[in-house]
Structure 1
């Protein structure tokens, strides 16, 4: 099958979002990664150069200096200054997420002094903050075009034509090669367009209603995501205030069967709060979480809490959540819980409910940050008590995190985080489920496409 002069790729959405909007949406991040550059680049738990070519933390652990390479310019020729980055970060600190909730970045950088001098950005924090590069890897610096759109970047591809929500035409600056991206929200529409020859590649094929593991005549790629699908467990009241009940709920789950029967094989069982590609996971040396219903029954018998459990679930995000909830309820009931599933139809309100601790006894959700620090600070630490923390306190975890987050030696910090990840496997605050497997289909003639662990489409 020959390629058209301008190949077309179908994404779920086409958008660059306002400059102060940080996102974990794979379609948006694909476009941002081609046209813009992150301030630093995250790759499977390691930090690499991005917009800034060099960075250094001083001996105090509080003063970061980041340096732009010589000649760095936006696509319209405007030189990039560190001041642009300083102003961009300041705007983000005052912004809110897609659900109208405040970002955690303002808490991370509370009291920080952010200054710029030509090509050098300096960030000074009141306490050591060695995980800051992971935060900066989430920030993509744009410049507004004449129409007020954040589409001028410093990346290898330049926007030639853009209709928000519909399509974007990109040109590779090095060789003039062009690609068109179109928005197709439904996976079934992306599949039909691919088979009809209207597009030459389609992402997120794992979201088809009828699961596929390949398409005849097309290349097929699968990549496990850093996203963690899990269920928060209520540590404020009810059955899961007891650590024995929380561990029992985890041991009751046959994650491999969940991955195969509910997710059609497009899932990798979780073993702790983060994925195998997060910072510190390798150092943790974790074994897979076991399925042990007999031990689960024994632990539950030790708990004096109630057996009645309300398990809340959205209809999507994560995909297949209602089916996951039914699987969990069956497993929990088999060891002695009495589980009632509640389905929430309004996904944004569901997220607000969880943030405001209206979650029932457990609530299916997903955890998207690729920063181990962020997951610990936003969702686990009872010292931070951030918006996604659900009341489970563990003095050993709190003390370990407070010490680990200030270690400036990368190896020592990875080792310390690894110990925390092992502790959180043994004493879980969540019901751990799986990491989704993402799927890409394309015509064989379209070469150089790949998915990374964050679900971003990379183009060689």
Structure 2
């Protein structure tokens, strides 16, 4: 059945300011209902039309034209025009993220001109091929700030009727009168930080749907009296390795610890089977990953010890960890420490309880000890390689990794223009990063929602967004 009003419990209810790009799945779910991205990212890494309904490019991939779909109107009745999109992008490029660091988009587009050709067409001009602009545009959800100062005016299927960030509550109304009965006409979204309480709300009939139930502390039991949905997420849980100094400057040491950790057991014992082992720097859903079809490193203590032969391991290595982001951070660290000690490494653990401080330490200060627990969230292969891997860009999350073959393959991928060229180019880069890993690859989490049995049309995608069909 399709209810008139759908009540949903999320970890948080917020829309964020237009200058704040986010990977928070609660916020992304709300954004996908109220706003439209310029382009829709698809599993596999390619894109489909969004607010831009079509586009074309020069043969060399340096010049692009994007067209705003006909009839795109903000929920206050104002037509969405090129100027709105230009202003939105400019504001992001001039702003900083939640950790106080400049957005990487500023670097990606430093030599790119984005201009309005007219009210409905936008031109992108770059001195180098820039097909990866498609990835970037999937992350921009166009919105305007309403008269009351709230960032809630979009062009998406639902309009915001009420929103109170302090109370964690929003009421949305379906904006189209042509499809009544096919979707809920109202959505009431309420915030509940506790996954256990979200599940209790559902069982008690207070809400119809509860999100992010993989975050319950104990093992989740899939009650047959509820409808369950789950999806493997694009997020990668990893340890950055210090490739500039210390033990992990050598490829053999990096290979060794990837064999030292039983990631299948980590997924089973720490994540209660709600995770799958990782094989490279991105998820199976990223551009080039499906074509690469890589397998995770096999757990092999003997091989790990063999690879460490000839490497001085007499001094302890320093492992840094936050207490959250990723979920279960401290349990992950305990598991990994035990695994590393089992192959003969001595480990000293440093815990940072302030997560924004930790992010700045890892990114800006490169203070990661020998390895540091982190999560990698961009769903764009281009972004992961540019921000974290490339020794040419040496960007915010780069930790000293250098491999001339990886750099050559990244350059080829960045200059590929057509989808049929981009996929194999990124595949080759990902394969090389499996052969010579810059990180300790751990797992990709599985996200879970539950709902009333009689509800129809609910699904979770690999970005953790709840879709209502």
**TM superposition score category, shorter chain reference:** over 0.9
Q: Structure 2: how far apart are the matches of 1:213 and 1:272?
A: 30
Instruction: Choose which of 403, 410, 419 in structure 1 pairs with 2:412.
Output: 403
Using the TM superposition, give the Cα deviation of residue 33 of structure 1 relative to its aligned residue in structure 2, in angstroms.
0.3
Does residue 1:436 correspond to 2:445, yes or no?
yes
Where 1:311 maps in the other structure, the secondary structure is strand
Structure 1 residue runs without a partner (length 5+): none
Alpha-carbon contact 1:40-1:133 (below 8 Å) kept: yes
Q: How does 1:236-255 map to 2 (within 5 A)?
A: 236-255=244-263
Instruction: Choose which of 424, 431, 445 in structure 2 pairs with 1:422.
Output: 431
Instruction: Choose which of 299, 307, 320 in structure 1 pairs with 2:307.
Output: 299
Structure 2 equivalent of residue 147 of structure 1? 148
Q: Structure 2: how far apart are the matches of 1:15 and 1:348?
A: 19
Alpha-carbon contact 2:2-2:456 (below 8 Å) kept: no
Structure 2 residue runs without a partner (length 5+): none
Where 2:153 maps in the other structure, the secondary structure is coil
Where 2:5 maps in the other structure, the secondary structure is coil
Using the TM superposition, give the Cα deviation of residue 189 of structure 1 relative to its aligned residue in structure 2, in angstroms.
1.7
Q: Structure 2: how far apart are the matches of 1:22 and 1:416?
A: 27
Structure 2 equivalent of residue 115 of structure 1? 115
Structure 2 equivalent of residue 41 of structure 1? 40
Alpha-carbon contact 1:276-1:282 (below 8 Å) kept: yes
Does residue 1:231 correspond to 2:239, yes or no?
yes
Q: Which moved more, 1:38-47 or 1:171-180?
A: 171-180
Q: Structure 1: how far apart are the matches of 2:219 and 2:49?
A: 37
Where 2:127 maps in the other structure, the secondary structure is coil
Q: What per-residue deviation string (whole Å, max 9, x for no partner) do you get for residues 148-169 of structure 1?
A: 2121111111111111241111
TM-score relative to the length of structure 2: 0.95
Structure 1 equivalent of residue 10 of structure 2? 11
Structure 2 equivalent of residue 104 of structure 1? 104
Q: How does 1:317-328 map to 2 (within 5 A)?
A: 317-328=325-336
Q: Which moved more, 1:444-453 or 1:366-375?
A: 444-453
Does residue 1:159 correspond to 2:178, yes or no?
no
Q: Structure 2: how far apart are the matches of 1:59 and 1:453?
A: 32
Q: Structure 1: how far apart are the matches of 2:32 and 2:3?
A: 24
Structure 2 equivalent of residue 25 of structure 1? 24
Alpha-carbon contact 1:168-1:180 (below 8 Å) kept: yes
Alpha-carbon contact 2:259-2:298 (below 8 Å) kept: yes
Q: Structure 2: how far apart are the matches of 1:322 and 1:70?
A: 50
Would the alpha carbon gap of residues 5 and 410 (structure 1) be closer, same or farther in structure 2, given more than 3 Å must change? closer
Instruction: Choose which of 171, 174, 192 in structure 2 pairs with 1:172.
Output: 174
Would the alpha carbon gap of residues 331 and 305 (structure 1) be closer, same or farther in structure 2, given more than 3 Å must change? closer
Where 2:141 maps in the other structure, the secondary structure is coil
Q: How does 1:323-338 map to 2 (within 5 A)?
A: 323-338=331-346
Does residue 1:455 correspond to 2:454, yes or no?
no
Q: Structure 2: how far apart are the matches of 1:72 and 1:23?
A: 23
Q: Structure 2: how far apart are the matches of 1:71 and 1:345?
A: 48
Q: Structure 2: how far apart are the matches of 1:197 and 1:13?
A: 19
Where 1:369 maps in the other structure, the secondary structure is coil
> How much is the aligned-residue C-alpha RMSD, in angstroms?
1.4
Alpha-carbon contact 2:313-2:346 (below 8 Å) kept: no
Does residue 1:350 correspond to 2:358, yes or no?
yes
Q: Which moved more, 1:301-310 or 1:375-384?
A: 301-310
Using the TM superposition, give the Cα deviation of residue 409 of structure 1 relative to its aligned residue in structure 2, in angstroms.
2.5
Structure 1 equivalent of residue 125 of structure 2? 124
Q: Structure 1: how far apart are the matches of 2:204 and 2:313?
A: 57
Structure 2 equivalent of residue 70 of structure 1? 70
Structure 2 equivalent of residue 446 of structure 1? 455
Using the TM superposition, give the Cα deviation of residue 327 of structure 1 relative to its aligned residue in structure 2, in angstroms.
0.8
Using the TM superposition, give the Cα deviation of residue 8 of structure 1 relative to its aligned residue in structure 2, in angstroms.
0.9
TM-score relative to the length of structure 1: 0.97
Q: Structure 2: how far apart are the matches of 1:306 and 1:242?
A: 16
